[in-house]
Amino acid sequence: MRQGAIFGLKWSDLHWKSGTIQVQRQVQYVPGQGRSFLEPKTRAGRRKIKLGEGTLHSMRLQKERQRTLIAVAGERWVDHELIFPNKVGNPLDPSNLRLDFNRIIAETGLPKIRFQDLRHNAASLMLNHGVPPIVGSRILGHSKPSTTLDIYGHLYPEMLGEAAKIMDDLVTPIQVELSKVKEPISH
């Protein structure tokens, strides 16, 4: 997801039973107004994403963490029902997220990346592990698979070796001994 969409997620968007999350708003900075909740720019940006069990577990931990934040903030807490609020319940500030993200990257010894690179990495992982572009485009909120392919199509050359192996496995399952094939007679 894009950063603004993550900032706009509310607990009511998370459907525990079906394991899905509904993207229906984003937080954007509007000059003169500050941060505002707006609808995603496109219809494809408003989407439902299926979550894995590991992600759902992380969301449960986030819910517990948030209870602590609410208790500490007390009367200062502003209840927007956000999944990822700041310390008093308001939308996160991108610069604070960047600082926290960079600190975590440094502490874990991972290569330095930008927060928005996580979206690119997710797309790369999906395509490199055989998720069809139409599925990836829906998860990413692209209106067409061609948009996903235009942006991430450079990943496909890396997959050519795997494609060659798959074709070998499908097309040449029978071994043919060339020594038993008669050579044509030339005149």
CATH number at residue 106: 1.10.443.10
Could you tell me the pLDDT band of residue 151, with boundaries at 50, 70 and 90? confident
Q: Which H helix or E strand runs over 37?
A: strand 34-38
- 182: confidence class by pLDDT, cuts 50, 70, 90: low
Does residue 116 contact residue 44 with C-beta atoms inside 8 Å? no
Q: How far is 22 from 11, CA to CA, in rounded Å?
A: 10
pLDDT at 33: 87
100 and 135 assigned to the same domain = no
Count up the domains in the chain and report the number: 2
Residue 161, pLDDT score? 75
181 pLDDT more than 60: no
Question: Phi, psi (5° rounding) for residue 141?
Answer: 85, 25
Same domain, 57 and 7: yes
Asked whether residue 182 is domain-assigned, the answer is no
- Domain range spanning residue 103? 1-113
**CB contact at 8 A, 123 and 136:** yes
- In the chain, % of residues over pLDDT 90: 61
More confidently predicted of 19 and 184: 19
Fill in the amino acid letter for 36.
S
Final residue in a domain of this structure, among 113, 130, 159 = 113
Distance from chain centroid for Cα 88: 26
Enumerate the β-bridge partners of residue 48. 22
- What is residue 5's predicted lDDT score, i.e. its pLDDT? 96
Split at pLDDT 50, 70, 90, the class of 63 is very high
The H or E element spanning position 59 is: helix 53-73
- Could you tell me which residues come within 8 angstroms of residue 140 by beta carbon, excluding any fewer than 6 positions away? 119, 122, 123, 148
- Residues 25 and 82 occupy one common structural domain: yes
Q: Is residue 5 part of a domain?
A: yes
Does residue 20 sit within a domain? yes
On average, the pLDDT of the chain sits at 88
On whether both 94 and 149 belong to a single domain, the answer is no
- Residue 184, pLDDT > 90, answer no
